Amino acid sequence: MNLEIIDGPGVRARLSMGECIEAMSQAMQAVTNGSVTAPPRTIMPLVDGSGYFAVMPGSAAEPLIYGAKVVSLHPGNPAAGRPVIQGFVALFDHQTGAPVALIDGAEITALRTAAASGLATRLLARKDARTLGLLGCGVQAASHLEAVCAVRGIEEVCVWGRSPEKTLAFTERHASAVKARIRPVAQAREAAACDVICVVTAAREPVIHGGWVRPGAHVNLVGAHASTAREADTALIKKSRLYVDSLASAFCESGDILIPIEEGAIERRHVIGEIGALLLGKIRGRQSAEDITVYKSLGVVAQDLIAAYAVYMKCKEG
């Protein structure tokens, strides 16, 4: 058995953001056309409530591969300088059942999540979008900075975080990573007044409000992953053209959508559809320069499997 073990730096060395965005296009179409089999993910709280253990299996037809993402989630880790998510994606040969690769799960998660938002931004944001607002200054903020700058000619980036010190450190750390001017802002509403906004926080209550978002903006909602948690208020969801990665996941896990439905502010049909359906021409995207578009990201195992497979194939190629 020849089992490839690929760590985080190995992932980034083999898969660029641009390549991962293309892999996410393949993954999102697979979700919509049903060529990926994936049962609901299992997220188990630890016995003392300090974290979670998650298992997400799936089988894809193109590429013909199956496997699972197996990760831990420890919300207290960043305070100690450790990542929230740790684990791996395990890939198996479809014909023989032999395990072929163990690939760093934290790096795959950071890369594919941002690449999916980059894909949504490429499909939905105005072509002339020039400003990016980041609400959050962690790992996902860094990867989303890279992803959005890969698909739009961003000239200025406004970063907001709950900690002014961490926000300033983020802007200084990434000042040379992109061509755009990057600066910290004191208020979330300043970051929310941009052409493209990425909300990548650990918030359970709204940190972005509909009244802050200008006509024509595109918003990626990334951080909340529970039916009782949300990053956006009802006003933003109600006034937007709303898209998701997976309808099944959205109506099970997304508080950003489920809470407004429970309030009677929107109906399920307010969700226009999946990004994969947009790629396949089954639904329509932005209709005018004044539309506010929102992409709600929850993450699906198809993204992990197809991104991990791309890394694995690059490894095999040497």
Q: CB under 8 Å to 268, separation ≥6 — which residues?
A: 251, 261
- Please answer whether residues 200 and 176 qualify as being in contact, where contact means their C-beta atoms are separated by less than 8 angstroms: no
**What band does 1 get if pLDDT is binned at 50, 70 and 90?**
low
Q: CA distances (Å), 17 to each of 11, 61, 258, 291, in order? A: 11, 23, 31, 27
Distance CA 311, CA 184 (A): 34
**Dihedral (C-alpha) 240, 272, 196, 252: value to the nearest 10 degrees?**
90
At 46-67, the pLDDT tens digits run 999 999 999 999 999 989 999 9
For the chain, the farthest-separated pair of C-alpha atoms sits apart, in whole angstroms, at 57
Q: 10 Å Cβ neighbour count for 280?
A: 14
At 193-233, the pLDDT tens digits run 999 999 999 889 999 999 999 999 999 999 888 889 999 99
**pLDDT above 70: residue 265:** yes
Q: Residue 71: its pLDDT value, please?
A: 93
Distance CA 53, CA 87 (A): 10
| CATH class of the structural domain 117-301 | alpha beta
- 59-90 CB burial, b ≥16 within 10 A, e <16: bbeebebbbbbbbbbbeeeeeeeebbbbbbbb
Q: CA distances (Å), 296 to each of 35, 186, 189, 312, in order? A: 22, 25, 19, 28
**pLDDT above 90: residue 158:** yes
Q: What is the percent of the chain where pLDDT is above 90?
A: 87
- Please answer whether residues 58 and 68 qualify as being in contact, where contact means their C-beta atoms are separated by less than 8 angstroms: yes
- Residue 33 phi/psi, 5-degree rounding, is -85, 0
Rounded mean pLDDT of 78-101?
Answer: 91
- Residue 74 phi/psi, 5-degree rounding, is -120, 95
Distance CA 41, CA 245 (A): 15
- Residue 145 phi/psi, 5-degree rounding, is -55, -45
Q: CA distances (Å), 54 to each of 9, 68, 243, 294, in order? A: 23, 10, 25, 27
CA 13 to chain centre: 20
At 127-156, the pLDDT tens digits run 999 999 999 998 899 999 999 999 999 999
Distance CA 183, CA 248 (A): 38
The mean pLDDT of the chain is 94
According to CATH, the superfamily of the domain at 4-108+302-317 is ornithine cyclodeaminase, domain 1 (3.30.1780.10)
**pLDDT above 90: residue 122:** yes
Task: Please report, for the chain, the start and end positions of each structural domain, with discontinuous segments joined by +.
Answer: 4-108+302-317, 117-301
| SS3 state at 114 | helix
